[in-house]
Chains A and B, each alone.
Chain A
Amino acid sequence: MIVTKKKPIEELMAMLGDAKKIAIIGCGSCATACATGGEKEVAELKKYLESQGRTVVATAMSDYCCMNLTTKGKVKGFDAAGAEAVVCMACGDGTQVVAANVKAPTYPANNTMFLGEAVKFGLFEEACHLCGNCVLGETGGICPITRCAKSLVNGPCGGSKNGKCEVNPENDCAWIAIYKRLEQQGRLDNLSKTRADKGYEDVAYPRTINIRG
């Protein structure tokens, strides 16, 4: 999922400036799981804005803010309701979809942090860097591009201390984790191969994928 974190409320208020009439949209998927843009958070923000003398002219929830067709209809009434500003409580992607479908300026309530896994309720770990050329088949299902702070593809640097990463001693060295997983699976020979250099040509962004044929 796309893991988001609430921006400090002061930052959001500074973006809103003098706007009096505000519309809010939340997101029913990732932002709900991250407690940054579910129904509860939308209601909380509405209450806060009203306490600050603003009028919340409309609120909406989109199942997936990032899906244009789903979100378009949800924000349709925002301009007609007189919104001078729209707050999107989804990820950066959802915010861009909303911004493209309303005339009033749209502001993000959240910072978009990473693509990660919900380890347990309220705990999220970064897991995938969207590198466009997945190596998990060779690395025991542990991503070195993401879990190694240097995205090393050919094994560890010399920087780990007691199995922990030099960048953040809270983190396990990805390559030691990969080694242990492959050892369990009897696949250590995977490590002796130098991985082909995949380069960055294929990840020049922004990318588009069209499967419509």
Chain B
Amino acid sequence: MSLLEKALESGKFGVTAEMAPPKGYDFTKQLEDAQLLSGKVHGVNVTDMQSASLKASSLGLCIKLKQAGVEPILQVTGRDRSRMAIMADMLSAAAFGIDTMLALTGDHPVVGDCKQSKPVYDLDSVGILNMLSTMEVTDRDCGGNELDGSAPRFYKGAAVTPVYEPIQLQINKLRQKVDAGAKYIQTQGVFDMESLKRFLDLVDKANIKCHIMAGIIPLKAAGMAKYMNANVPGIAVPQDMIDRLEAAAAEGKEKGVKGLPMQLGIEMAAEFIAKIHDEKICDGVHIMAIGAEKNVPTILEKAGITIE
């Protein structure tokens, strides 16, 4: 049983981070960052060509993390692989002791950097979860054929966008994901407590039972926040945060100090996480540092979060 499953299923506050494999085959940076995260988080999501940008495979880095003693969470999208290819990868993942996964539909190739690639989408996130759940129950593959031996079991998760209009569509799909076997849900990055609470209320009212981990994106600069507001679906950084980042940049310029906005971003993320934890807003947090994984231990320390 993975650390994440143990934590969430025993009512502890779950903490996960996220990293992307390189566009290449040198995993040194990822493995160094993973060592910094070791003992600080319950698992590290490895993205499956996020933003449809070509990278080494999620499975490859997950295997490396596992071998380095860091618990990986295998992200699986339906964009590039048919059901057969996904199931084959999941069997291989299990052989390496990988037992936690997160199902996603996946960004379309035309928004990525290999636009000529054929979009597959044989299964969407719900379909991937259903296929794995059926395999676990029946010990059969995606064609209904008996597996050699018993089926591997995965602690399954999915994602949700809490800031969305009409939100009922996300709630409906969340229900389907949970019905299909998702036990934990990582949200798209959220920046204000009201939006998060509004979403959690709707999940409660819909009587959907799952562990929700709030997505945290530590901001590095006002420009990053504005860019995400304009371009990343489901992201809404409040204006006062952008103003504070701009003020920090101006202060840094005046004093000749670099990195003030990033420090402020770390502080804001830490405050937000501490509030979620201390007020028991939801079951955990998922920190997407987007290349600045080395900041995650500092954020957790400032938030006063340790995992046992």
A residues adjacent to B (C-beta < 8 A): 149-161, 163, 166-168, 175-176, 179, 188, 191-192, 194, 197, 200
Contact = CB atoms under 8 A, between A and B. Distances in A.
A163 B164 contact: no
Contacts of B179: 194
B105 to A, nearest CB: 4
A158 B164 contact: yes
Contacts, number: 81
Contacts of A163: 165
B90 interface: no
A159 B124 contact: no
Given A158-B164, A197-B127, A166 B122 contact: no
A192 B164 CA distance: 17
A154 B111 contact: no
A29 to B, nearest CB: 31
Nearest to A151: B121
A166 B169 contact: no
A161 B127 contact: no
A154 B175 CA distance: 11
9 contacts: A150-B79, A150-B108, A150-B119, A152-B105, A154-B173, A156-B169, A176-B166, A188-B168, A194-B179
A167 B110 contact: yes
A151 B122 CA distance: 9
Given A150-B105, A157-B106, A194-B176, 4 more contacts: A150-B121, A191-B168, A191-B172, A197-B127
Contacts of B159: 158
A82 B21 CA distance: 63
B84 to A, nearest CB: 11
Nearest to A161: B233
B111 A167 contact: yes
B119 A155 contact: no
A210 to B, nearest CB: 28
**Which among A156, A157, A191 has the highest number of chain B CB atoms within 10 Å?**
A157
A157 B105 contact: yes
**Which among A151, A159, A167 has the highest number of chain B CB atoms within 10 Å?**
A159
B233 A191 contact: no
A179 B164 CA distance: 13
A89 B105 CA distance: 39
A161 B236 CA distance: 11
Interface in B196-233: 231, 233
A88 to B, nearest CB: 28
Nearest to B108: A167
Contact of B121 (A152, A159, A197): A152
Interface string B93-125: 000000000000111101100000001011110
Contacts of B122: 200
